[in-house]
């Protein structure tokens, strides 16, 4: 079995849920319910860089408030 998240040549998007948590997601896999795209199709590394820059507080939003 191949892990799509390990594909260094694949294309990805970044998702975020209602709690403000981010996820790297393979572009060719349907977005799951409860998640929305916050960064368009890009390279794996660029998506990781976006997540690193944006997700500075890893606590769920319900705990931060």
Question: Given this model, what pLDDT does residue 33 score?
Answer: 98
pLDDT value at 1 more than 70? no
Mean of pLDDT values over 13-20: 97
∠ Cα 18 41 12 (to 5°): 75
Q: In what order do the strands lie in the sheet with 35-43?
A: 22-26, 11-17, 35-43
Span 21-58, pLDDT tens digits: 999 999 999 999 999 999 999 999 999 999 999 999 99
Side-chain half-sphere exposure of 34, counting CA atoms within 13 A: 7
């Amino acid at each position: 079995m191949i892990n799509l998240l390990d594909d260094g040549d694949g294309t990805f998007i970044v998702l975020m849920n209602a709690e403000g948590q981010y996820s790297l997601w393979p572009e060719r896999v349907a977005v799951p319910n409860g998640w929305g795209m916050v960064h368009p199709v890009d390279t794996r590394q660029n998506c990781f860089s976006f997540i690193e820059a944006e997700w500075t507080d890893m606590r769920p939003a319900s705990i931060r408030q």
